Amino acid sequence: MNHLPKTHLHPLEKAKALESRIRLLLQNPRRILKSYIHSGMTVLDLGCGTGYFTLEIAKYLKNKGKVIASDVQNGMLEVLKQKLVNNELQKLIQIHNNQENTLNLTEKVDFILAFYAFHEMKYIDSITIELQKILKPETKILISEQKFHVSKYTFNTIIQKMENIGFEICERPRIFLSRTVIMKIKQNTQRI
């Protein structure tokens, strides 16, 4: 089955809530990302929205590497584009408007951030298979979903879908009000 129960997109009208000062205190991108993002990496910010994490990822790259900021909602990406006007980080960020059933990416990535993203994917099976195709052997993916919005059952369904195509959990970081795992592809997994 390709769908998750109750998928929906975060409304553009409520995008400001994604960047509140309270969220910055509770889910600080620097604290969350510091162990995973390094200079020279290519990072996919999957479901980047307005770029809450995108800009911090770009800062960690220290002028070497790239962030692919991918989202299905063009309106969210337009907000991100406005943030990048006259911003030196612009040269490190590739904005990518993917379709809901395909990522349409071929570039290999070192790290994937999917923060509050998977529960919004209508065609999760198609997307997860495409993710497998853009991995390097050591690529990790951080998957985090809201505890108050995404049930434990739905989160476990997402993780099971990833495990079914060869991913395994390698870490369980604690992030406020979130269910979070770091996954990587198993050593002997046959790539699709």
Could you report the per-residue pLDDT of 94-122, keeping only the tens digit for each? 999 999 899 999 999 999 999 999 988 88
DSSP states along 87-121:
-GGGGGEEEEE-BTTB----S-EEEEEEES-GGG-
| The model's pTM | 0.89
Q: Does 191 fall in a domain?
A: no
64 inside domain: yes
Residue at 76 is within a domain:
yes
- pLDDT tens digits for range 29-83: 999 999 999 999 999 999 999 999 999 999 999 999 999 999 999 999 999 999 9
Domain span including residue 101 = 20-185
CATH of the domain at 84: 3.40.50.150
Cβ contact 147:178 at 8 Å: yes
Domains held by the chain: number: 1
- Is 6 domain-assigned? no
Give the per-residue pLDDT at 33.
95
Q: Quote the percentage of the chain above a pLDDT of 90.
A: 77
Q: Is residue 137 part of a domain?
A: yes
